[in-house]
Amino acid sequence: MSIAVRVEPFDGTPSDVEYRWDTDTDILTANLRTKVVSEGTSGSVEIEGSDGSWLILDLDGGSVHGVEVAVWPEVRKRSSLAPPGEITDGRVMVGEGNGLASIEMNTALAAEADEAERTIHFRLGPSRQTKTVRIARDILIDVDVKDRIAGVWLLSVPPFPEA
């Protein structure tokens, strides 16, 4: 699996995140509240796990603007789970040029969460060395040494709504 990206710095503070649960489908959506103005591709990157799971990265102006967990992989619970200590703020840019894009990739997709499921980490493909980029206050993207997306962190996830 190879989703090539480039990391660009941004001015200001990371955007807040708006989480939304769809109680009928168990879909979790996390979107940046603040739109970043830039020219570039808009559309989505759909990542299908070998187990039928789906993770969708929404693009706006070429940058990752949101994450949707459409079909959950099996989530491995850990007693504690924390993002890496060294994090850089930035924008993760996908694709070249302007226009619409829809990219579909197949890979191994694994998920782990803390006991309360407030911190969730999705790993794309094999484990490898990464740097972590904060694209919003509660969304982090792992990027490997070849500038490919290797993982996604969702922080401060609200609990699934009770019926």
Q: What angle do CA 128, 129, 130 make, to 5 degrees?
A: 110
Q: What is the distance between the alpha carbons of residues 106 and 82, in angstroms, rounded to a whole number?
A: 27
Q: What is the distance between the alpha carbons of residues 91 and 5, in angstroms, rounded to a whole number?
A: 10
Place 115 in a pLDDT band, splitting at 50, 70 and 90. Answer: very high
Q: What angle do CA 97, 123, 157 make, to 5 degrees?
A: 90
* Both structure tokens of 87: 């994090």
Place 37 in a pLDDT band, splitting at 50, 70 and 90. Answer: low
**128: which strand partners?**
none
**Looking at residue 96, what is its pLDDT?**
65
Place 26 in a pLDDT band, splitting at 50, 70 and 90. Answer: very high
Q: Where are the domains of the chain?
A: 5-154
